[in-house]
Amino acid sequence: MSKQYSDRNLGVKILFISVGVIFVVRLLVLQIFSSEYRELADMQALRHRTQYPARGLVYDRNGKLLVYNEIVYDLMVIPRMVAGLDTAYFCQQVGISREDFIAQMDKAKKYSHYAPSLFMKQVTKAEYARWQNQLYRFKGFYVQQRTLRIYEKPIAAHVLGYVGEVNDNDLQRDSYYQRGDYIGRSGLEKSYEELLRGRKGVKVMQVDVHNREIGSYQDGKFDSLPVEGSNLYTTLDADLQEYAEKIMANKRGCVVAIEPATGEVLALVSAPAYDPNLLVGNARGANYKKLSNDIAKPLFNRALQAQYPPGSIFKVAQAMTALNIGAVTPSTGFPCDKSVIGCHNHPAARSVQEAIKMSCNPYFYFTYKRVIQQGHEKNIYKDSQYGLTMWRDYMLRFGFGQRLDIDLPNVSSGMIPDTAYYNRWYGKDRWAFSTIYSNSIGQGEVLVVPLQMANLACIVANRGYYITPHLVRFHGPDSTRNDAFCQRHETGIRKDYFDIAVHGMYDVVHAPGGTGHRADVPGIDVCGKTGTAENKGADHSVFVSFAPMDNPRIAVAVYVENAAGGGGTWAAPISGLLIEKYLKGEVQRKDVERQYMEAAPCQKLPLAHKVKNKKKRR
């Protein structure tokens, strides 16, 4: 047994000695005879440099450039490789304080001693040129070329969005990103991030002991080229967008303009707006803080996120619903009975068309009552539940009460109440038409997003359907389109009923007794509907419109918060100016343009433009 054990122990020793000898011999061969090793021994390291692709460009519908890139440089550091650094000289060259140097190095070490970390971001060409030739002195530091977003004009910030540096959540969610990378944070920059960002490449560089890159490793054998991001060709008309922002500059509210036949958004404005270039470069953080703290909320996209009472523009959807379910006929008339609900002074409406023209509150009170209480039982509570469910179904067909799937993030859905809502609020079988009649005139619990208001105008313009509103026509070299933005959404309401709405909205602008005369544009058949939405403060001014009446090319929703007047005072004339600008190329009514460009809702309009009974919903 002892002899066997001794022989086995000897064998193990011989095996280990043999392996050791082979290893030493191989190392000697590499060191003495291998020219490749001797060459690499003179090199300190191989550096894998990420090659960042150019982010995709963004154009308007006419090919005008909206967003492009500018080359900048990031100063990177690998803490483990920093040695023999003259800190004072380094700080002097790159233009930072010693305190900033210590803070950035601590941050880099906390991330990793061995991996590259961002030390200074977005260094301009001019700044880099000052110390480029000294970089070899700073062992462990190197420069990474990047691109910076530049917005051609100070417009469309809420549409285009902005990019920001990735955070820990981004890094965990998507392995594509590295610390110091940028990602779309809002607008189209966020919605189309994967298309815009492109694909990174890698360049393997040889670096000598002096921290100098001396060439590509093995002639680029292990390199990969970056792939540029896809360009976006948007639906925006840059001229109309810029004009709409100017006219809303001293107001709070929003504008949405859509091409009815295609659902393409021509302009989308939230006021107050801001210059998207404020959120670019090293001043981005400070500017973002100022914008965030502004009480006017310029970062809040009112056109997509605000949920307002729609006021009397909602009556158009009410009329179409009542006609289609047989609650009224085209020739149904109701008295303007102010004892049931307030109204401005006008004759009784003898038809649906006249009711739309006059914006008669009692007419739509009685119409809504017929819709809600036309059930098959005598119990008013059960009847109301039946009627409300049917009414809500029609409102959803108009795109209300749900998110319209526009290609932008953070879109609100608005509010169309259902029976469950009222059962929670009042108790089961404890509510009826008499509790909820304010819905009939776009008040009560009804809330609508401005995008949905513009979509309502599209539905009437199209006589019964809409295409999902969207902001990108196509992208990339192959002009790829999204099929979801080509589908029709039908309301299921008869076209001849929509013809009644069209003529009623035409009368709003053109006929005696109409409430939207200030939207009139000479030579253009504008159709529109005014709204005055009650509010805790001053009422909101609302107007939806489209033009021309036949083969419409543009539909517009304008919402002006806390306006000193109804929908016909502020929103209607602004709509008229936008329609004139788009269809004629320039505004010829310079006096009207000047008045609404300069005036703010808190200011009084000239006497010729004052309206009476501003508290009445129209």
Question: What separation in angstroms does the CA of 482 have from each of 154, 189, 409, 475, 567?
Answer: 28, 17, 16, 9, 36
Q: Domain coordinates of the chain in residue numbers?
A: 49-234, 304-609
Q: Quickly list H helices, 34-120.
A: 35-41, 87-94, 98-111
- The 10s digit of each residue's pLDDT in 465-496 is 999 999 999 998 888 888 889 899 999 999 99
Scanning the structure block, which residue is given the tokens 């970390």? Answer: 117
Report how far residue 453's alpha carbon sits from residue 450's, in angstroms, rounded to the nearest whole number. 5
User: Which residue type is seen at 559?
Assistant: Y
pLDDT at residue 92, rounded to an integer: 94
pLDDT at residue 48, rounded to an integer: 78
pLDDT at residue 538, rounded to an integer: 85
Instruction: Assess whether the region 49-234 and the region 304-609 belong to the same CATH fold.
Output: no
| CB proximity list for 587: less than 8 A, separation 6 or greater | 577, 580, 581, 593
pTM of the model: 0.86
Q: Cα 173 to the chain's mean position, in Å?
A: 22
Phi-psi category of residue 327: left, alpha or beta, with phi > 0 → left and psi -120 to 50 → alpha: alpha
Fold annotation for 304-609: Beta-lactamase (3.40.710)
- The 10s digit of each residue's pLDDT in 335-394 is 999 999 999 888 999 999 999 999 999 999 999 999 998 766 667 788 899 999 999 999
Run of H or E including 157:
helix 157-160
Scanning the structure block, which residue is given the tokens 């009650």? Answer: 534
pLDDT at residue 43, rounded to an integer: 43
Report how far residue 348's alpha carbon sits from residue 560's, in angstroms, rounded to the nearest whole number. 29
- The 10s digit of each residue's pLDDT in 275-318 is 999 999 888 999 999 999 999 999 999 999 999 999 999 999 99
Question: What separation in angstroms does the CA of 257 have from each of 2, 71, 311, 450, 498?
Answer: 97, 35, 19, 10, 20
Regions in the chain scoring below 70 on pLDDT: 1-44, 209-213, 375-378, 602-618
The CATH label, of 3.40.50.1100, 3.40.50.620, 3.40.50.261, 3.90.1310.10, for the domain at 49-234 is 3.90.1310.10
